[in-house]
Amino acid sequence: MEPRINALGTDVGQKFVKHIVGADRVLAGSALSNRTRELVNIRASQINGCGACLDMHVKEAQAAGETPLRLALVAAWRETSVFTDAERAALELTEAGTRFADGSGVSDEVWQNAAKHYDDEELAALVFQVGLINMFNRMNVIIRQQGGDYVAGTVHR
């Protein structure tokens, strides 16, 4: 399966991606840990079926020292003991923020659980990270961008 379009080969694509990668760099410099950011990126990308984003974020997490066991268990985080309570709260918020189409939104319980572990700066970054990765996922899925060729460090420098 080939991508439907080379979006980066267009003028608008190059300009747009420059700005959203810039937004990602802002979040990379935020109070939210990169480890948590990558877990969020991976979980949302799993839910949305974005192979390109999974490829990127699994490789970035590995390069940052994430363990193969934790990476293998992200999709089953509820049934494992390898994630901290804070990471579990972030993953729960990620799922709720990614599955709006299911009609449940983000419950007060999910929000309050995240707020127990993260201050306002971290919560804001977490919300923006969930939104940003969902945007990347949707664009890549629409154009059928495939994963597999990403080299860690290419975007995240």
- Residue 65 gets the label, from left (phi > 0), alpha (psi -120 to 50) or beta, of left
Whether the predicted pLDDT of 157 surpasses 70: no
Confidence of residue 145 (pLDDT cuts 50, 70, 90): very high
Local structure of residue 145 (DSSP, 8 states)? P
Whether the predicted pLDDT of 132 surpasses 90: yes
Q: Sign of the C-alpha dihedral, residues 101, 56, 81, 33?
A: negative
Q: Sign of the C-alpha dihedral, residues 104, 108, 114, 118?
A: positive
pLDDT tens digit string along 21-78? 999 999 999 999 999 999 999 999 999 999 999 999 999 999 999 999 999 999 999 9
pTM listed for this prediction: 0.94
CATH for 33-143? 1.20.1290.10
Q: Where are the domains of the chain?
A: 33-143
